[in-house]
Structure 1
Amino acid sequence: MSYQSLAKEIVQMVGGEQNIINVVHCATRLRFKLKDQSQAEKKKLENLDGVLSVVENSGQFQVVIGSHVSEVYQEVIKVANINSESNDLSVKTKGKVVAKIFDVISGSFSPLLGALAGAGMLRALLTLLTMTGVLSTESGTYTILLAAGNAIFFFLPIFLGITIASKLGANPYVGGMIGAALLDPNFTGLLQNNGNITDFLGIPVVLMNYSFSVFPIFIAVSIYAVLDRFLKKTIHKDLQMFLVPMLSLIIIVPLTAIAFGPIGVYVASSIGVFINFLYSESGILTGAIMGSGWTFLTLFGVHTGFTPFILENLANGGDPLLALVSAAVFAQIGLAFGIFLKTKDKKLKALAGSTLLPGLLSGITEPILYGLMLRYKRTILYVAIAGVVGGGISGLVGARALAYAFPSALSIPIYSPFVPYIIAMLSAFTVTTILTVVFGYEDKKKLGVEENVVEAGQTTINKQEAIVSPLTGVIKSLAEVADPVFASEAMGKGIAIEPTIGKAVSPVNGKVTTVFPTGHAIGITSNEGAEILIHIGINTVQLEGKYYSPVVKQGDRVSQGDLLVTFDIEKIKEAGYPVTTPIIITNTDRYTEIIEMKKEAVQEKEGLLTLVS
């Protein structure tokens, strides 16, 4: 499915353009703010080709996409006609105050996470190069690269001013100007020339350094957003273009210098003191709690709410939180490695292996969480235990991050003390790996096709359902499919066929539940309850129905062997699209085992899969 088609489906299933207040994205998920979440079709979204999971939390409706989220996001804002400068955020939404606060924090930081992480990784690279003697801290090269790595953090009030104002429906550039005023050389020069005190119209102003700060700009722009709405209601429309920004700056910047800024600094300082107090009183306990809990915060999508605390700690010399929660990330990576070592299933091994690299190199572990951990729920305990161990060790040795970056193997140089931190992360990784290998990962024993189960003196046979081939062609594993959504089994288990004859028949007796308008994909639910997706070709939705001729429609009853669709293999290939056809059991979780027939080629209506429940 193309990104544009996926975006159209997502927008439709969240209630349409009229139900969307705004949408942002982080590293792996779209974060919608909806007028009415009850209009969103969560189950249909979770079964959508290209969607890994759906999470509702903190007033957000989060659609987990994976590594292609930015491309899908760009199409979503086009499809939904969303303008980041004019989002209507005045609509009241239900939710508790805490949830709304987390929503604002998360929505404000999400657009910046890539830049923050990239700058942090650059800092990690510089640290590694200076530690190994490749680069001198006195060189011009180091200074220039350090400026590139520091820029977003030093000017963070400007960037946050823009994103917070966008999130709250105010003019983002005025929000950025408020942040810039705090960093203006004339203003910062007062701190150097006048000491810590100046005045505004005779009112004392306590001067502070606002570079790297977070909370002052959050307070200032939040008040500005309220003022902006008030001014637009009271000032004539013809005068709003210049008068609203001018009055906003005249009012908010002095108030920030007089009150909002110092209050924000004191709030941040108090939070930092509290975190450091907990850390100093019991680093082991704090580390164990954060190391085990971070996985669940990530699952619920509220982990970005901790970003301002992390950045404030970094501005004051170092952050313990990143060092503690890193244990959860390495525990998750250990789970993927454990399943990779343990499983004999080639497709599962390919999936586990494919999730290792993003986790190790970039700290993106959502494919592990949604593709492995939630599928095999007993492993949640393994990850939590490993998080306790790694986080506890990290807390014991007093580990701290010296820059912001997603926890990963490449970001290790930003942590101190270096060697003890490595030991803590290796411990988390190793514990999960060992628990997975020793105790297994499956939630319940998978039984063979002919295995009997004895319960209460009675013998029962596992239920089986035969799925015949809808195509004639060469059999491939899903891992060979040139589409990560199918290859990772995110949509479910199954098999793929390279067709040699351009027609597909029904693999079961059942009902046609979906016929895509383009004819390239058909969904069928068997009379026994198996949900089957036949997706003819990869990215062939872009052909917009050319070369496909479906003969059934949604709601039709079909018998095994009935013709579903004909298609022109040669013309599809000439158009540049492979015709490899995944056949997916989308309700895989219903079955204890899905057994593939061991053959290299298959004829239509020959046995293909056996489903064991």
Structure 2
Amino acid sequence: MDNKQLGNEIVELVGGEGNIISLVHCATRLRFKLRKHSEANKDALTNHPEVITVVEKGGQFQVVVGNRVGKVYSEIMKNHAIKGGDEGAEGGGEKVSVVSRVFEYISGTFSPLIPALAGAGMIKALLAVLTLLNVLDAKSTTYAVLNAASGGVFYFLPVFVGITAARKLNANPFVGGAIAAGLLEPNFTALIEQSGNINFLNIPLLAIDYSSTVFPMLIAIAIYAMLEKVLKKYTPDTIQLFFVPMISLLIMVPLTALAFGPFAEYVSAGIGSGIVFMLDKSAILTGILIAAAWPILVILGVHWGITPISIANFSRGGDMINPITAAATFAQMGIALGVYLRARKNKNLQSLSIAALLSGLFAGVTEPILYGIILRYKKLIPILLASGGLGGAFIAVFDVRVFTFVFNSMFTIPAYSPMVGYVIGISISFAAATILTFIIGAEGKKKEGKKEEGKAEVAATAEPAVTNMKNSQKTELSSPLVGEMVPLENVEDPVFSSGAMGKGVAVEPTEGIVYAPFDGEVSILFPTKHAIGLKSDDGIELLIHVGLDTVQLDGKHFSAYVSQGEKVKKGTKLVTFDIEGIQKEGYQTTTPVIVTNTDQYLDVVPSTFKHVNSKEPVFTVIK
């Protein structure tokens, strides 16, 4: 299908010209701003042979078409009366709801903290194993030190939340952290032990232990961000450095202690009590509902909104939400195993399934299963809901609880109590999902037939063009950036993490420079400079996408040193970008590096380096 025809069909399927306010594109997708999302035929677009997938995010309707996006965009703009960029912003359209903004705020606050929380949680699990096996005495100095290593991030969690929440809202992150620190300072915590009425300027004050809390700071920082903007607007530049932080602390610390803190704690406690009430009335029904709803919340991207409630439950006798959601997590792993066992003739699907299964079992990361397999084969969704709900009911009946933040993997089993009830619940979910998937299968004949014809498919690469291993050739590609390696499936964008655009890796850059990883040509350079496509002299097509959703910056913080069509040598400086500036705008700098013509190669194998520079390989392309 040519680009003009594809463009015309996409316009028709999103509701026609009249439903389109504006259109922009990035490295992989057409980003429509629509008047009514309900007018778009999402199912037809998702199943279109030339469309990789559809994503609704941030008020945009995104149609992913891959490398040809620029040409398709040009044809649409040439043949339709559609405004580009944000020109149509005044035309109304569907605004992002308040609920979506709240969950985006919570998600953006917690995402940077997940590695620290998960790492500390794993130490908690390790300590549980060592004490259970009598390898370590819980009263020993060694245990005390390791327990401090695992507990410190949770005790001072309000400080970390203050920093990341302020950064998400483009306020001074360290002032945000200082607001939280004021509520953990010994002089304030000493008020908790005082008997009788205490007050601040004759206003009654309820002193609360804010350690390990998150809701109070989420509210406080949202107010602080607005306060800071007002203060900066009316404060002379000569005194802003000290005056704005000073007034912010003078207002926000007392205000949080007097109002936001108690209110947030009451709300959090109320939600927790509501769940306990439901468990008391019907543990089975509650377990089924929570476990079945969890994957849906993940797909909608609102699951992080539950995290503050779970963390708040640690100090109230343990959290019961996380153990129940583990049933859904292990049900996804069971589905991956069932698909692997069933898809004997589809080597690509088998490869995807086993990789996704190992990611879930060892790291508790199941997004590759959810986005790459379950959403691809809709027949698996009922299996997920049924299997997860069944295990969730058992876990709820056993009243399983957890007292620290952990991902649901095989290594964190000792963190749950009672462990036996937890193991029974997740085992039931895993076994039920595996058996049902193996019996029912995932593939639909019509859809599989279409895929076998060589059409674009989501989350799995096509059959390699070369299958003779004896005659294969290997090409190592140097890293285009300096930074930390990130598995592609861990990237917080389903289009990249699912492998829909091709195989590759991601790099969390520590230096804002993109280098040419080989001799070749600049095949495409986007006007926003956030993404660049390269083609090597021997035919490897590479996409380097700096950050996630950074197209929204419209070129801000980016500079290009080459032009489209220009020949480059390995090591040539291509693009520079301001890491801190991008992050302050609220965007991640995680950079996917993708071989977009993966289907022309036998495999793309990531390297084992944790830190890479321009002299070290990020992956090997096997021809």
CA distance in 1, matches of 2:497, 2:430: 22
The answer to whether the 8 Å contact 2:122/2:412 transfers is yes
RMSD: 4.3
Report the CA distance shift for 1:328/1:141 in structure 2 as closer, same or farther (over 3 A): same
The answer to whether the 8 Å contact 1:232/1:244 transfers is yes
AA at the equivalent of 1:262: P
Equivalent residue, structure 2, for 1:490: 499
Identity of aligned residues (%): 43
Gaps of 5+ in 1: 1-35, 65-91, 450-461, 495-515, 523-533, 549-578, 586-613
Could you tell me how far 1:445 is from its partner in structure 2?
6.0
The answer to whether the 8 Å contact 1:336/1:352 transfers is yes
Could you tell me how far 1:475 is from its partner in structure 2?
5.9
Larger Rg: 1
Equivalent residue, structure 1, for 2:353: 352
Could you tell me how far 1:490 is from its partner in structure 2?
2.7
Q: Deviations over 1:287-338 (max 9, x none)?
A: 1111112112112221111111111111222111101111111000001111
SS at match of 1:519: strand
Could you tell me how far 1:447 is from its partner in structure 2?
8.4
The answer to whether the 8 Å contact 2:212/2:311 transfers is yes
SS at match of 2:205: strand
The answer to whether the 8 Å contact 2:541/2:596 transfers is yes
Report the CA distance shift for 1:257/1:396 in structure 2 as closer, same or farther (over 3 A): same
| Number of matched pairs | 443
Equivalent residue, structure 2, for 1:44: 29
Could you tell me how far 1:222 is from its partner in structure 2?
1.6
The answer to whether the 8 Å contact 1:491/1:584 transfers is no
Could you tell me how far 1:151 is from its partner in structure 2?
0.8
Equivalent residue, structure 2, for 1:520: 536
TM-score (norm 1): 0.64
AA at the equivalent of 2:208: M
Q: Deviations over 1:231-268 (max 9, x none)?
A: 11221121111111101111111112222222222122
CA distance in 2, matches of 1:296, 1:167: 25
CA distance in 2, matches of 1:102, 1:268: 16
The answer to whether the 8 Å contact 1:482/1:538 transfers is no
Matches for 1:147-546 after TM superposition, within 5 Å: 147-192=148-193, 194-195=194-195, 197-344=197-344, 345-444=346-445, 474=468, 490-491=499-500, 518-520=534-536, 535=540
Could you tell me how far 1:202 is from its partner in structure 2?
2.4
Comparing 94-103 with 327-336, greater Cα deviation is found at 94-103
Report the CA distance shift for 1:108/1:53 in structure 2 as closer, same or farther (over 3 A): farther
AA at the equivalent of 2:499: A
Report the CA distance shift for 1:367/1:448 in structure 2 as closer, same or farther (over 3 A): closer
Report the CA distance shift for 1:367/1:154 in structure 2 as closer, same or farther (over 3 A): same
CA distance in 2, matches of 1:369, 1:405: 19
CA distance in 1, matches of 2:339, 2:255: 56
CA distance in 2, matches of 1:319, 1:470: 47
**2:164 paired with 1:141:** no
TM-score (norm 2): 0.63
Equivalent residue, structure 2, for 1:570: none
The answer to whether the 8 Å contact 1:351/1:489 transfers is no
Could you tell me how far 1:375 is from its partner in structure 2?
2.2
Report the CA distance shift for 1:95/1:314 in structure 2 as closer, same or farther (over 3 A): same
Report the CA distance shift for 1:156/1:315 in structure 2 as closer, same or farther (over 3 A): same
Report the CA distance shift for 1:225/1:422 in structure 2 as closer, same or farther (over 3 A): same
SS at match of 2:535: coil
CA distance in 2, matches of 1:493, 1:187: 54
Could you tell me how far 1:348 is from its partner in structure 2?
2.2
SS at match of 1:39: strand
The answer to whether the 8 Å contact 2:383/2:436 transfers is yes
CA distance in 1, matches of 2:238, 2:569: 55
Could you tell me how far 1:57 is from its partner in structure 2?
4.2
Could you tell me how far 1:465 is from its partner in structure 2?
8.2
Equivalent residue, structure 2, for 1:109: 110
1:583 corresponds, among 577, 593, 599, to 599
Q: Deviations over 1:93-148 (max 9, x none)?
A: 93221111111111111111111111111111111111111111011111111111
Could you tell me how far 1:536 is from its partner in structure 2?
6.1
The answer to whether the 8 Å contact 1:351/1:488 transfers is no
AA at the equivalent of 1:292: A
Report the CA distance shift for 1:471/1:425 in structure 2 as closer, same or farther (over 3 A): closer
CA distance in 2, matches of 1:127, 1:582: 44
Equivalent residue, structure 2, for 1:98: 99
Report the CA distance shift for 1:441/1:146 in structure 2 as closer, same or farther (over 3 A): same
CA distance in 2, matches of 1:108, 1:169: 12
SS at match of 1:217: helix
Gaps of 5+ in 2: 1-20, 32-45, 65-92, 456-462, 478-486, 490-495, 504-531, 545-561, 571-594, 602-623
CA distance in 2, matches of 1:93, 1:229: 27
